Chains A and B, each alone.
Chain A
């Protein structure tokens, strides 16, 4: 009986064929065989969501999803979000709103958000909170993440010239940071 098996799948729009052990999870195959280490393993118990990837557009926990179950299916990971080097609106919104700190939950958070917005392009704040309830972040306390997701949904683009952003940064008094250049 085969402990190893052939696996064909599409990862980030690229056809892949490889031989794996049956015990390997999708997380194992992505990280260890395909070198796609963006997907992170944390709780290894389907609780934290750090390993969230999309299989045929549905979010799954790569830590506990057998790679064999991805046979002939389309897998998307964080590495596939910016196919031509252009950040997706979700990625850009996370940068603009500081929707991460250490970044370990971020790939999963981005994939969960991507799945949410593909299904529901204009979620309410409560819908965002419900959809991301299963994605843990220990750094941010979530406020900036939820802002980022709502901004991505609005298609909001941040001011790219940073000094211009200062008067809007909520200063009570006159801006103290001088732009000297």
Chain B
């Protein structure tokens, strides 16, 4: 790891590679995940899923299953008249259990609760469901063709939604949402163009493969609902549960233990409402633990078809970009409408684009629902945008790095009106990547290099709170709604609290992700936690310190000298008092507590949106085996432009992990549908990267203190995924003279492209 820093000083342990605070728990097996939780009287649920991609449910016979010994409850939609079955973050179109019809193969139709999971599975085999299969469609372009089967009968404008009124589609029944981003005079831009590059780029249906499958437990106690879940966003799940069961928010408690990988796939509500419904009918606590096969059918990443035109002048300056994007959202909207908005926003990438017009449609198909996944629209559109930068460079005879330098947004420059200016030095990032990649050194035959960038409007919305509780011994409880899902929030948030209160890290204890015990945070996603929760914790620390200074004056020096605030306490005359002294003195005994509150909303430095720009800057060197079409990433450079690395070791891990995930999707990962069925819905056939895929790695962390967060911090962890597919595509062009526009760049696709190249050369 290499660190490049020009930021100002920050108090220790901020900026230090302290060991992860969840380390011992996780290397000893003592760390508890939702899958590890048990409780007295717990019953176990299994789901019967539709074998048809699109069908009307004619009848369900559950009698034999109900009679099976050990069965506690058998639940269909008809058994839940008292529950609001339909939920959905962006568009409420998703019944927790099939109601009348199924829209993808794998949709849950019947739930069985039994004394143990094996008995529940036995009982499932005794259920018979009569389906009337309907015509189905599994590709977004086909779903928009004349006569395509209609997947949701209810017209778009009648679908309930949360803040997506403008995006709800009205053009075609199979279009879920339409998001437009435009500025400048697009006709003019293309009219003036010296060069127009056009192309269609495809990004696959992907699977995040969080290794912990979706799991939830639900327990009802006197009208209060407690749910343990593997979800990333406890507060959002709370909101959906309250609506489904018509409960006050305060009557719903959502607890998230350690999350075994999320990457966005565990954001928003998944199986929690159904688990709670099953528990309601069972009259007992219920655990619903999905398998990985079922998890794949629960949420996947959006496939994309991006048709992009880029206009350039003769110097390679971008004049305009015009695009239509189709995202395959599958049977239900989930969070794809927001992915669509972001894809439209992110198509311009890190460049100065005088005119832009993007229409992104999310399209229903009879496939597993798609939703948030690391990068959130950016990997899909970056493949298109960054490919065309290299295509243009080639056609204009400009070096691919130089064409980027000419177009990259300068620090503070706004990508489009009314958004935050770019809080990064993109040209410097690019030059660092070039240096690490050895851009000018000779390459072996069959090798190629490329560097690509992205800039994402990240951070979601600033709606974040925290409590900092100072105890009489000076130790600290920090309460926050941010989830620990591997990204290291439990470590970096504690580091920031320790730094801001001036106490040892060991004296900071974090309480996370229990809606009854910690205060509100909107979500753990969009790379926002370090930035926004960090600010909330700092605000709470400031609030606590202000109170403590006041308390010191009141209780330690009522008539005496003015209390001087120091880093870890106060000084009165020659005497220093730590925060614990102040608490005890103010309460006049050995006990008491000071509570500091931090609220972060759209106000002050976090008023402008987005809260920060998440930068991706990745360089690769690839080799192409022309005999088999296998491409290998030989070298990978990541630039982690994070403003201030609260914990550089964790930033490095996020960057490499993100880039390797991008490498998987660029080269091998794709959920394949045939005849309406998922052909590789298991880890046997869906291949994620392995140790053998690891290239030589150069990880650079750049700290210029230019983010809105504490000491100039801003988010990371997604950026290094976003440009990877584009970088590989461009490097393959330079290695082998083939232009890959459809990810993953599987060996056969590469081989076909090589054959076409050779055929073209012969003719």
Interface residues of chain A, those whose CB is within 8 Å of chain B, are: 23, 31, 36-45, 47-48, 50, 77-79, 81-82, 87, 91, 94-96, 98, 100-107, 110, 128-130, 132-146, 162-163, 165-166, 169-173, 176-181
Contacts and interface: CB of A to CB of B under 8 A. Distances in A.
Given A43-B683, A98-B20, A177-B12, A140 B656 contact: yes
B57 interface: no
B1 A170 contact: yes
A102 B261 contact: yes
Interface in B645-696: 648-650, 652-654, 656-661, 682-684, 688-692, 694
B473 interface: no
B653 A36 contact: no
B16 A43 contact: no
8 contacts: A37-B29, A38-B28, A40-B260, A103-B260, A133-B691, A144-B656, A172-B2, A176-B7
Given A40-B260, A103-B22, A163-B16, A132 B691 contact: yes
A127 B3 CA distance: 30
A170 B16 contact: no
Interface stretch (B204-212, B377-385, B525-533, B595-603): B204-212
A5 B9 CA distance: 65
Nearest to A165: B17
Interface in B179-235: 208-213
Given A37-B32, A162-B16, A163-B16, A102 B653 contact: no
A50 to B, nearest CB: 6
A138 B2 contact: no
B428 interface: no
Interface string B11-33: 11111111110111111111111
| CB-CB nearest 10 A-B residue pairs | A38-B29, A102-B486, A141-B660, A104-B260, A103-B26, A177-B15, A101-B486, A43-B683, A78-B29, A37-B36
Contacts of B609: none
Contact of A176 (B10, B13, B20, B485): B10
Contacts of A95: 19-20, 23-24, 27
Contact of A103 (B31, B688, B692): B31
A141 B25 CA distance: 21
Nearest to B295: A42
B29 A77 contact: yes
Interface in B549-581: 567-568
Given A104-B211, A140-B657, A142-B660, A178 B3 contact: no
A41 B35 contact: yes
A146 B213 contact: no
B9 A102 contact: no
B694 A143 contact: yes
A169 B27 contact: no
B36 A103 contact: no
B485 A102 contact: yes
A143 B260 contact: no
A76 to B, nearest CB: 12
Given A81-B28, A103-B31, A177 B652 contact: no
B118 interface: yes
Contacts of B212: 40, 42, 102, 104
Interface residues of chain A: helix, strand, loop or mixed (majority)? loop
Contacts of B654: 101
Contacts of A100: 20, 23, 26-27, 486
Contacts of B15: 166, 176-177
Nearest to B19: A95
Nearest to B14: A177
Contacts of B24: 87, 95
A132 B689 CA distance: 12
B697 interface: yes
Contacts of A77: 29
B56 to A, nearest CB: 32
B657 to A, nearest CB: 4
Interface residues of chain B: helix, strand, loop or mixed (majority)? loop
B211 A50 contact: yes
B605 interface: no
A172 to B, nearest CB: 5
Contacts of A138: 208-211, 261, 263, 657, 661, 688
Contacts of A173: 4-6
B650 A136 contact: no
Contacts of B13: 162
Given A143-B656, A143-B697, A169 B691 contact: no
A79 B28 contact: yes
Contact of A96 (B11, B19, B658): B19
A98 to B, nearest CB: 5
Contacts of B610: none
A140 B694 CA distance: 11
B292 interface: yes
A27 to B, nearest CB: 11
Given A50-B211, A181-B502, 16 more contacts: A43-B683, A102-B262, A103-B31, A104-B210, A105-B211, A106-B26, A129-B694, A133-B691, A141-B659, A142-B690, A162-B16, A166-B15, A172-B2, A172-B5, A176-B8, A181-B12
Contacts of A23: 118
B386 interface: no
A101 B657 contact: yes
A139 B657 contact: yes
B133 to A, nearest CB: 29
Contact of A39 (B8, B29, B661, B692): B29
A92 B697 CA distance: 23
Which of A96, A139, A171, A180 lies at the interface centre, i.e. has the most chain B CB atoms within 10 A of its CB?
A139
B29 A48 contact: no
A172 B703 CA distance: 11
B486 A47 contact: no
Contacts of B657: 101, 138-141
Nearest to B37: A37
A100 B10 CA distance: 26
B488 interface: yes
A49 B755 CA distance: 38
Contacts of A78: 27-29
A176 B118 CA distance: 57
B753 to A, nearest CB: 27
B211 A42 contact: yes
A78 B26 CA distance: 10
A98 B261 contact: no
A93 to B, nearest CB: 9
Nearest to B213: A42
Contacts of A81: 27-28
A139 B259 CA distance: 12
Given A100-B27, A146-B694, A170-B3, A179 B12 contact: yes
A140 B292 CA distance: 20
Interface string B246-283: 00000000000011111100000000000000000000
Contacts of B210: 102, 104, 138
Given A91-B27, A101-B488, A104-B212, A177 B16 contact: yes
B711 to A, nearest CB: 9
Contacts of B752: none
Contacts of B20: 95, 98, 100
B1 A169 contact: yes
Given A78-B29, A82-B28, A172-B4, A130 B16 contact: no
A105 B260 CA distance: 8
B291 interface: yes
Contacts of A139: 261, 486, 653, 657
Contacts of A39: 29
A25 to B, nearest CB: 11
A45 B260 CA distance: 18
A44 B17 contact: no
B691 A48 contact: no
B479 interface: no
A41 B27 CA distance: 16
B211 A176 contact: no
A79 B29 contact: yes
